[in-house]
A and B are shown apart, each in its own frame.
Chain A
């Protein structure tokens, strides 16, 4: 499919299809003229089910209305791991495109045989297969004769871009009407027969152990069903949600906790990681063929704080036991991975557990979705076979769910006598960025750490660079510096629980690189756009920068109090290209007036969906850049409510314009994480443009501006 890179090696299957080759796992023709499409990826607010439906309908030549998207379940969906890393279009999309193209061919061959004509004489329109002399049949007529319980084969050629009619078009998302008419589509809104409600008790202080629990008051709450306690894990089950809340409040009053474990000093995020034990690894090293002479060195340090997922809905799950079999409904990003961890904690064979996805609120990484599923499983043990719905509190969501990891980044640029960059060193100190379920010999689920016989607390790790890296994501420069040394120092302690949050280390690293580049361009007196273009070799990279610069008429005329800045990145260095220009205003409190972005995601399956994702990423990263910071003292997380963890509001949201560079002949890649790094950097660079102050510690708040001014 990628016409840029013709391959001489034998054709292979797309990765998700190779892992799940049975065609019937991906699609089935049902008797009512529908096609059930069954991806392993899940809807997390990004519109993926619509894009995948478009791909399938296109390859099969059927109307989109015939496509029924099946929710991922371990009962039968292909195992596509986790819905993350902007890979759903790349992985699920390619697998479905291939599988559907192959199924189409199989049906055409069957039709040719039945109708006694050549395959080439047949065509398909909305599932009806017809040929010369008005002969016709359909997928549904042939469905009984054709078994799809066979493995996909390499060498199938999907349609060329110009023959696709749906992919490439902004088809309305299929999930939006339900949400606008408030039909119960979210897991929070599911009501099962006989369903009970559960709540879990957790300490305020990090790592505190439950030393005493008086249960009497909770037991006397109307509708009380059970208290479940196992070590420091404790929770209640009641007939109603209101009852569960009341019982939890009673239980909280009867609980005594140990002191817990100390947290780091929040005001010292630059030094704290460097003082921790760590595992260092060289990520990339490039040596100049003929090293130049270093005239001077610029070294700067950048930090980003812990960032909360802060979904609008607290995490929720429903669990139901039937003997030693367990059914879980969850908004987890990975139903199979969650099942692996549940099996470990519950000491059950995985076959005894079915995990089915139901949508939750917007998910930006590994939040508490998996944790609450184990909570529900543990509480449901006391429910006598009835389903138990468990929902976390806002406070729990903001303090017990994993955060995005804090980072300290140091960049040292070596310049020659002409102030050209001849050496580049980039060091990252950070916890690993991933502690997801289902991937280690130990579970990653919160309650698993709290049981009487606890599993050890998982310390987060980093995916390898080949998979995009973790703390080191986007740390390798895309620019043509003659030499560099990129090194990651992963902390081996984890005082604050972290795991995957959008872009992993990408936002921090792009912020640091693009800030430093800006600084050097200013020192040189060179235009930052021209400076970047001069150091890039990849035309797609240059195109997004040129497009965004042209769109704002770079550089707009200087006005007092207003600044413009640019940021660029290619997500994971292999995914979507994105350049952003920010217009900011303000002296003490920074306001982002406007963000202009250009993106290239290869083939955009649903252009409006891509733009929606990029707009969302741009606004979310504005929120990260200006406001967000998990707060804590030495005992506990203190930013447990929206008042203490403010996010961007309607009155603060910038105008966002997105130019999409459509490349129908290039492999499609995801869009949801493209904007975060470039937008953060663009804002910081615009702040410098307006105020002459470099803020290198996120978020860019009034305090940070004052501190940076004092250093200037």
Chain B
């Protein structure tokens, strides 16, 4: 099988797998990363969102070959409890979830947004998260959390 090379959370990787397989299947399967969640397998819910380059994309319908030589970041690369990303701090501060299954994808969409637009309006946050589904109805808390993180980042 052809080798696909890409950077995952800053680390160079070589993957020996069918390049038509989904990125999510590789991440959760042979790479053992359980942060990106399977939700629909059709790019319709955002639970598996990761950042490729500077955009949040669904890993479930993205073929492995399409990330060749690119930077891929998963929730595992966003932050840890010791070194949390401001978004993670803000989601805890706002208690911005109920079940939390959608949260890793939502954090990645929000992180991509804040990278290209560090001070988004409420409307811009909603637009950026519009392809992420949340079934528990925690949207408003998540919205507040993203705005809070943006403020915190702006304050340095």
Residues of A whose CB lies within 8 Å of any CB of B are 44-47, 172-173, 175-177, 179-182, 184-186, 188-189, 191, 240-242, 245, 310-314, 359-364, 391, 393-394, 608-609, 612-613, 615-620, 623, 641-643, 647-651, 653, 655-656
- Known interface pairs A191-B34, A361-B99, A361-B101; A619-B25 also in contact (CB < 8 Å): no
In Å, the complex CA distance between A176 and B136 comes to 14
Closest A residue, CB atoms, query B128: A650
- Verify B92–A641 contact, CB threshold 8 A: no
Chain B neighbourhood of A314, CB < 8 A: 38-39
Quick one: which of B124-156 are within 8 Å of A by CB? 125-127, 129-141, 143
- Known interface pairs A181-B80, A312-B102, A620-B136; A394-B37 also in contact (CB < 8 Å): no
In Å, the complex CA distance between A429 and B95 comes to 40
The answer to the question of B53 belonging to the interface, with a C-beta cut-off of 8 Å to chain A, is no
By Cβ-Cβ distance, the 5 closest A-B pairs, closest first, are: A45-B99, A619-B137, A179-B100, A362-B99, A616-B137
- Looking at B38, B99, B131, which has the most chain A CB atoms within 10 Å of its CB? B99
Chain A neighbourhood of B44, CB < 8 A: 641-643
- Known interface pairs A180-B92, A651-B126; A618-B137 also in contact (CB < 8 Å): yes
Q: List 26 A-B contacts (CB under 8 A).
A: A45-B99, A46-B98, A175-B100, A176-B91, A176-B95, A177-B81, A182-B35, A182-B76, A188-B101, A311-B135, A312-B47, A312-B99, A313-B37, A314-B39, A361-B135, A362-B135, A394-B41, A615-B141, A618-B137, A619-B137, A647-B133, A647-B135, A648-B139, A650-B132, A653-B137, A656-B140
Which residue of B92, B98, B103, B104 is within 8 Å of A47 (Cβ)? B98
Closest B residue, CB atoms, query A620: B137
- Verify A642–B40 contact, CB threshold 8 A: yes
- Verify A180–B88 contact, CB threshold 8 A: yes
Whole-angstrom distance between the Cβ of A38 and the nearest chain B Cβ: 22
The answer to the question of B107 belonging to the interface, with a C-beta cut-off of 8 Å to chain A, is yes
Chain B neighbourhood of A359, CB < 8 A: 99
The answer to the question of B32 belonging to the interface, with a C-beta cut-off of 8 Å to chain A, is yes
Chain B neighbourhood of A393, CB < 8 A: 41
Chain B neighbourhood of A182, CB < 8 A: 34-35, 75-76, 104
The answer to the question of B72 belonging to the interface, with a C-beta cut-off of 8 Å to chain A, is no
Quick one: which of B53-93 are within 8 Å of A by CB? 75-76, 79-81, 84, 88, 91-92
Residues of B whose CB lies within 8 Å of any CB of A are 21, 25, 28-29, 32, 34-35, 37-42, 44-45, 47, 75-76, 79-81, 84, 88, 91-92, 95, 97-104, 107, 125-127, 129-141, 143
Tell me the interface secondary structure of chain A in the complex: loop
Chain A neighbourhood of B25, CB < 8 A: 241-242, 245
Whole-angstrom distance between the Cβ of A607 and the nearest chain B Cβ: 11
- Verify A642–B45 contact, CB threshold 8 A: yes
Which residue of B38, B47, B98, B101 is within 8 Å of A612 (Cβ)? B98
In Å, the complex CA distance between A173 and B29 comes to 30
Chain A neighbourhood of B100, CB < 8 A: 45, 175-176, 179-180, 185
Which residue of B76, B131, B133, B141 is within 8 Å of A312 (Cβ)? B133
Whole-angstrom distance between the Cβ of A459 and the nearest chain B Cβ: 28
Chain A neighbourhood of B129, CB < 8 A: 650
Chain A neighbourhood of B39, CB < 8 A: 312-314, 394
Whole-angstrom distance between the Cβ of B143 and the nearest chain A Cβ: 7
- Verify B97–A176 contact, CB threshold 8 A: yes
Chain B neighbourhood of A240, CB < 8 A: 29
In Å, the complex CA distance between A688 and B138 comes to 28
In Å, the complex CA distance between A179 and B76 comes to 12
Chain B neighbourhood of A310, CB < 8 A: 135
Chain B neighbourhood of A360, CB < 8 A: 99, 101
- Verify A612–B42 contact, CB threshold 8 A: no
- Verify A362–B136 contact, CB threshold 8 A: yes
Chain A neighbourhood of B102, CB < 8 A: 312, 361
- Known interface pairs A180-B92, A313-B101; A612-B141 also in contact (CB < 8 Å): yes
- Verify B97–A179 contact, CB threshold 8 A: yes
In Å, the complex CA distance between A188 and B136 comes to 18
Closest B residue, CB atoms, query A614: B137
- Known interface pairs A615-B137, A616-B136, A650-B132; A177-B92 also in contact (CB < 8 Å): yes
In Å, the complex CA distance between A655 and B129 comes to 16
Chain B neighbourhood of A653, CB < 8 A: 126, 137, 139-140
- Verify A651–B41 contact, CB threshold 8 A: no
Which residue of B103, B127, B131, B134 is within 8 Å of A179 (Cβ)? B103
Closest B residue, CB atoms, query A175: B100
Whole-angstrom distance between the Cβ of B123 and the nearest chain A Cβ: 8
Chain A neighbourhood of B28, CB < 8 A: 241
- Verify A181–B88 contact, CB threshold 8 A: yes
- Verify B135–A620 contact, CB threshold 8 A: yes
New A-B contacts (10) at CB < 8 Å, excluding given A242-B25, A313-B39, A620-B137: A46-B98, A177-B81, A177-B92, A182-B104, A241-B29, A312-B37, A312-B135, A362-B99, A394-B45, A612-B95
